[in-house]
């Protein structure tokens, strides 16, 4: 089992926020991306962050967006679509979306809306 599986989402979330804000994006946009991927609204996300939910629990509870399969590309030198472990692939989906948001991609493209 990879260490990230048992890491709390709350311990990584501030790094996601800092990354997107450094590039001129907002926490609200980050939360919108997370909601698109997981189905968690603002209150549900806040509860997971407060409860110290691990990435494994977080994605077990998520209703993964059917469009997530269209998330492709490289994160940390690894091609997302080639990641075999389903949980690690979901985590990489999230990483890829955060990267795209931080790189200034249009929200419509980040959310695979066209």
Q: Is 57 left (phi over 0), alpha (psi -120 to 50) or beta?
A: alpha
- Is there a domain that residue 60 lies in? yes
| Residue 87: closest CA among 51, 44, 55, 61 | 55
4 vs 113, residue with greater confidence: 4
Q: Which tens digit of pLDDT belongs to each residue from 50-78?
A: 999 999 999 999 999 999 999 999 998 99
- Is there a domain that residue 110 lies in? no
- Is there a domain that residue 108 lies in? no
- Is there a domain that residue 111 lies in? no
Q: Measured in whole angstroms, how far is the alpha carbon of residue 69 from the centre of its chain?
A: 13
| Residue 68: closest CA among 103, 33, 99, 102 | 33
- Is there a domain that residue 84 lies in? yes
Question: What is the number of structural domains in the chain?
Answer: 1
Q: What angle do CA 33, 37, 43 make, to 5 degrees?
A: 70
CATH number for the domain that contains residue 66: 1.10.8.290
Query: pTM (2 decimals)?
Result: 0.94
- Is there a domain that residue 39 lies in? yes
Its domain, for residue 53, covers: 3-102
* pLDDT-based confidence at residue 86 (cuts at 50, 70, 90): very high
- Is there a domain that residue 75 lies in? yes
């Amino acid at each position: 089992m990879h260490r990230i599986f048992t890491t709390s989402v709350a311990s990584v979330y501030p790094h996601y926020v800092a990354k997107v804000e450094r590039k001129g994006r907002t926490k609200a946009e980050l939360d919108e991306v997370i909601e698109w991927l997981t189905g968690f609204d603002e209150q549900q996300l806040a509860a997971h962050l407060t409860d110290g939910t691990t990435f494994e629990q977080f994605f077990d509870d998520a209703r993964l967006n059917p469009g997530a399969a269209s998330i492709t590309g490289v994160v940390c030198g690894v091609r997302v679509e080639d990641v075999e472990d389903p949980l690690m692939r979901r985590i990489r989906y999230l990483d890829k979306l955060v990267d795209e948001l931080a790189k200034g991609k249009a929200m419509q493209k980040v959310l695979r809306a066209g």
